[in-house]
Structures are given as C-alpha cells and as structure tokens.
C-alpha cells in the first residue's frame, strides 16, 4: 500500500503568499507540488528506500518512512496525505513493525545470553 500525498496549498501559478504559501517566489507554485510529485513517485510504503542502504537508529528506511518524515517536517508541512485516515493507520503500522523488530532482537539477545550462561 502507498500513502499518496498532495501539496498543502493550492497549486499555481499564483503570487507569493497566495493561500498562505510563501514559497511561490521562484515560479508561482507551492513547493509542495514538486515535493508531492517526488514522494508519490517512490514505491510502496513498505519497500526499502534507496535500496535499503540507509539506516536510521538501526532500522532500514522505507519509502513510507520518507513520506512520514516529509508530512511531519517542521518546514511548514508543504505536503499532506491525500487520505489522512489511511496515512495515520499506515504510520501506526510502521511504528508497530519497528517495535516488534526491537522486541524480537531483544528476545534473540536473551536466548543467546541464556545459552552462553549454561
């Protein structure tokens, strides 16, 4: 499944400041227009971003992680989910998968420690 995003302000071209967007100075379009095109061009949410070589806190970054980061960016949130409820559920699913991975890793470490203690 893929979280689709759209620009949070009206497209364009418009004057800078139209719709509360002050990133139109270059070409009249909200920066979210180009950002959403790029984010939507990424694969499914659970596919690894960049071939899986990028890790954050020990976790391989997925396309869904990238979209979540852009949707929650402190830079005026130029992109928003097309389907907010679906996006929230997919984000929660992603968090739960990461938690489960951590729990499984900790359980594996406990098993190893128990075997070496015998």
Domain boundaries, the chain: 5-117
Summary mean pLDDT of the chain: 86
The pLDDT of residue 38 is 93
The pLDDT of residue 26 is 79
Give the pLDDT band of residue 76 (cuts 50, 70, 90): low
Evaluate if residue 72 carries a pLDDT over 80: yes
Q: What average pLDDT does range 26-37 have in this prediction?
A: 86
Please give the distance of CA 72 from its chain centroid, rounded to a whole number: 8
């Amino acid at each position: 499944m893929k979280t689709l995003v759209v620009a949070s302000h009206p497209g364009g071209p418009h004057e800078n400041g139209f719709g509360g967007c002050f990133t139109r100075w270059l070409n009249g379009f909200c920066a979210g227009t180009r950002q959403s095109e790029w984010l939507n061009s990424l694969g499914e949410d659970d596919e690894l971003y960049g071939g899986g070589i990028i890790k954050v806190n020990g976790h391989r970054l997925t396309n869904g992680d990238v979209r979540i980061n852009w949707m929650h960016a402190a830079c005026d949130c130029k992109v928003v989910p097309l389907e907010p409820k679906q996006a929230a559920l997919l984000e929660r699913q992603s968090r739960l998968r990461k938690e489960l991975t951590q729990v499984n890793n900790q359980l594996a470490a406990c098993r190893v420690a128990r075997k070496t203690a015998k």
